[in-house]
Amino acid sequence: MKQMKPPKKPLIFYYGIILVIILLLNSFIFPAIFNHSVKEVDYGTFLTMVEDGKVKQVEIENNTIMFKPKDTSEAKLYKTGSIDDPKLVDRLHEANVKFAKVIPKETSPLLNFILSWILPLLIFIAIGQWLMKKMQNKMMGGGGALSFGKSNAKVYVEAQTGITFKDVAGQDEAKEALQEIVDFLHNPKKYKEIGASIPKGALLVGPPGTGKTLLAKAVAGESKVPFFSMSGSEFVEMFVGMGAARVRDLFKQAQEKAPCIVFIDEIDAIGKSRNSGMPGGNDEREQTLNQLLTEMDGFDADKGVVILAATNRPETLDKALLRPGRFDRRVPVELPDLAGRESILHVHAGKVKLADDVDFNMIARATSGASGADLANIINEAALRAVRLGRNKVMQNDLEESVEVVIAGYQRKNAVISMKDKLTISYHEIGHALVAAKQSHSAPVHKITIIPRTSGALGYTMQVDEHETILMTKEQALDKITTYMGGRAAEEVIFKTITSGASNDIEQATKIARSMVTRFGMSDEFDMMALETVNNPYLGGDTSLMVSAETAAKVDAEILKIIKTCHQKAIRILEDNKDKLHELTKYLLEKETISGEEFMAILAGKQESSVILEK
Ligand code: ADP
Ligand code: MG
Ligand code: ZN
């Protein structure tokens, strides 16, 4: 739902304008209209006219005398100020003029006030309100932030999601956990008979793009029940109390439609811990959360309302949400493993025409750490590329290229890079690859390229593991750091100078070294002491150090020691293989992209690189 913009000027401003308009009307315009046809004359003229017999009728008011002439050519009505003239009556009588004194009307001042001030004001306010409402409806597309508690006009039902567990590849554990809920919604009697009560709520936790929302829809699709879906942020409204009203409505509707599923996506938007240290807190969010807690306690799970929620920040959720009877069941939806990635690729490739050379296993191996959403994106990018190249089938190299697009962005074909920089980049990348190849615990080199990418990468070396490993040994970790050092080391060995091109390598290497010391217990100094905690494991996983200042300094020293050792090792490897470094670099510079096989062939001396470098 779109947020309503606050009106540019406060309402009171418009009412002020209206008031001024009424004032002007009352004091100038109306009298002017009335007086238009009245001609004012002096008393003398009046008397002369009476004596000349030109006057037909006279009305004497308190301060004025109005009179009608016999000859109406000049004006229909005259007026003059009334003067204390005792002879006036006689004169009029003599001239045979009809005359009368007007009896002053006893209008009550209150009525007068109401008629001339309150009534017009009320009319204008009514018009104003009507306009406001119209405007709002336009902006909000119905409903509206100002329609307090009237959100029940919105029906949250999305009757059939049409998605089943078949559409969710991998995630077998999650599916198994949710299968029970599906079963319950199909056959609640079975559970009631034995006296078991089904959990009221299940919380899907995991990194973004792993299929949490998809799974929730699949549960609804499998159970063939209505699916009430809302995002946590939709509850957080402009006005305190609105969110709570929405929660109430949602649950009211859900109970009417039971059995059904209520799905609250991104629940951390309202479920954040209430003592998160914000001064003053957030009233609206807390009220909404309290209402949610109350509603979850209030309804009878046997009726068949199951609440699913999803978040990638479970650690921020309020403890009250997680206690038994509420979201007591936690379903982890983790990043897919190798087999999971392969089957996700298969699911999404279902509607894509594939060439025979497509090898999803290879793509899955090259995408360790990718989420389901990433993989879906890779398939789509590959299909787009195939179309762009005028093919009607997706080939393996479309897929490989789109993996790189997702990892590093598009190729920057037009980027202008000087020959000197290109040479440096080539040595840098071959440095990585050579160090990786000369160590026994690093993954094989799959591809080396010096074609720059939109992510800012000037080139990269892709390593693809044969098998996926879940555990990382200390040797593997050290080899990884050493490989990261390889790029810079090559620059040092060849050019005796260094460039800024290693910044990302430095960052990654330091991250691994830090984890080794603070979390994996891989340093001699600290043994198995925990020094750091991970704050949000599913979102970037930033950590906070929980040690004294002195220890922190020692931690840094320890990290530095690891990095220095690895750096020296990388330099040594490259010094020992300087010939190969030159040879491979020349080859890469010529080809711009070389495969792992080519690389290994040259390294093993099986292939002569015939390219001669021109400087
Ligand atoms: P989130 O966990 O962030 O809610 P989504 O459920 O929205 O992720 O997933 C985004 C998209 O990624 C889905 O629409 C689907 O195309 C794809 N996807 C993610 N996980 C899977 C999976 N396990 N199987 C098939 N597709 C998946
Ligand atoms: Mg989601
Ligand atoms: Zn590098």
What distance in angstroms lies between residue 501's CA and the mean position of ligand 3's atoms?
A: 7
pLDDT at 347: 93
Q: Model confidence over 545-556: pLDDT tens digits?
A: 888 999 999 999
Q: Which two tokens stand for residue 69?
A: 């002439």
Q: Is 208 in the pocket of ligand 1 (CB under 6 A)?
A: yes
pLDDT of residue 557: 94
Region 30-34: mean pLDDT is 68
Nearest atom (ligand 1) to Cα of 215: 6
Instruction: Give pLDDT, residue 137.
Output: 61
CB of 373 shorter than 6 A to ligand 1: yes
Closest Cα to atom 6 of ligand 1? 211
86 assigned to a ligand binding site: no
Rounded distance between C-alpha atoms, residue 580 and residue 574, angstroms? 9
- Our answer on whether the CB atom of 213 is closer than 6 Å to any ligand 1 atom is yes
Spatial CA neighbour of 204 closest among 232, 168, 234, 174: 174
pLDDT in tens, 236-259: 766 667 788 888 888 888 888 878
Q: Which ligand is nearest to the CA of 209?
A: 1
207 lines ligand 1 (CB under 6 A): no
Protein residue closest via CA to atom 27 of ligand 1: 372
**What pLDDT was estimated at residue 8?**
53
- Name 80's Cβ contacts closer than 8 Å, sequence gap at least 6: 40, 41, 42, 43, 45, 46, 64, 65, 67
Decide which of 356 and 407 is more confident: 356
Ligand 1 geometric centre to CA of 301 (Å): 28
Output the pLDDT for position 507.
Answer: 94
For atom 15 of ligand 1, the residue with the nearest CA is 373
Centre of ligand 1 from the C-alpha of residue 353, in Å: 21
Nearest ligand 1 atom, CA 265 = 4
- Position 372, amino acid: G
Does any ligand 1 atom lie closer than 6 A to the CB of residue 350? no
154-332 has which fold? Rossmann fold (3.40.50)
Confidence of residue 148 (pLDDT cuts 50, 70, 90): very low
* Distance of alpha carbon 213 from the chain centroid: 15
Distance (angstroms) between ligand 2 centre and the Cα of 178 equals 16
Q: Indicate if the pLDDT at residue 448 is higher than 90.
A: yes
Q: Is 210 annotated as a binding residue?
A: yes
- Token output for 114: 């109401």
Closest CA to 314 of 300, 299, 292, 333: 333
Given this model, what pLDDT does residue 149 score? 44
Ligand 2 mean position, distance from CA 266 (Å):
7
Model confidence at 558, pLDDT cuts 50, 70, 90, reads very high
Does 207 carry a binding-site annotation? yes
Mean pLDDT of 306-335: 87
Q: With contact defined as beta carbons under 8 Å apart, do 449 and 589 qualify?
A: no
| pLDDT tier at 139, thresholds 50, 70, 90 | low
- What are the boundaries of each domain within the chain? 154-332, 338-408, 419-614
Catalytic residues: 429
Give exposure, 58-86, as e/b (b: 16+ Cβ within 10 Å). Answer: bbbeeeebbbbbeeeeeeeebbbebeeee
The answer to whether 164 and 258 are in contact (CB under 8 A) is no
Ligand nearest to the CA of 424: 3
Ligand in closest contact with the CA of 172: 1
Q: What is the pLDDT of residues 48-71, one digit of tens each?
A: 888 888 888 888 877 788 888 887
- Going by CA atoms, what residue is nearest to atom 14 of ligand 1? 214
- 207 alpha carbon, closest ligand: 1
Instruction: Indicate if the pLDDT at residue 135 is higher than 90.
Output: no
**Cβ(408) – ligand 1 distance below 6 Å:** no
Which one has a higher pLDDT value, 10 or 208?
208
Position 405 scores a pLDDT of 87
d(CA 199, CA 349): 36
The answer to whether 140 and 132 are in contact (CB under 8 A) is no
Ligand 1 site, residue 347, Cβ cutoff 6 A: yes
pLDDT digits 0-9 by tens, 11-29: 777 778 888 888 888 777 7
Ligand 1 atom closest to residue 217's alpha carbon, by position in its atom list: 6
- Among 173, 213, 214, say which to mutate for ligand 1: greatest number of ligand atoms within 8 Å of CB: 214
Find the 556 Cα to ligand 1 centroid distance in Å.
Answer: 39
Fold of 338-408: Helicase, Ruva Protein; domain 3 (1.10.8)
Residue 259 is predicted with a pLDDT of: 82
**Position 493 pLDDT exceeds 90:** yes
- pLDDT of res. 610: 52
**Does the domain formed by 419-614 have CATH 1.20.58.760?**
yes
Q: Is 378 in the pocket of ligand 1 (CB under 6 A)?
A: no
**Whether residue 614 has pLDDT greater than 90:** no
Cβ–ligand 1 distance for 210 under 6 Å, the answer yes
Would you say the CB of residue 339 lies under 6 angstroms from ligand 1?
no
Of the pLDDT bands very low, low, confident and very high (cuts 50, 70, 90), residue 351 is confident
Query: 259 preceded by cis ω (within 30°)?
Result: yes
Which is nearest to 414 in space by CA: 453, 455, 459, 461? Answer: 453
**Alpha carbon distance 363, 370 (integer Å):** 11
Residues at Cβ < 5 Å from ligand 2 ion: 213
Cα of 411 to ligand 3 centre, how many Å? 17
- Contact call for residues 438 and 569 (beta carbons, < 8 A): no
Q: Which of 203, 204, 205, 210 to mutate to test the pocket of ligand 1 (most atoms within 8 A of CB)?
A: 210
Q: What is the mean pLDDT of the chain?
A: 83
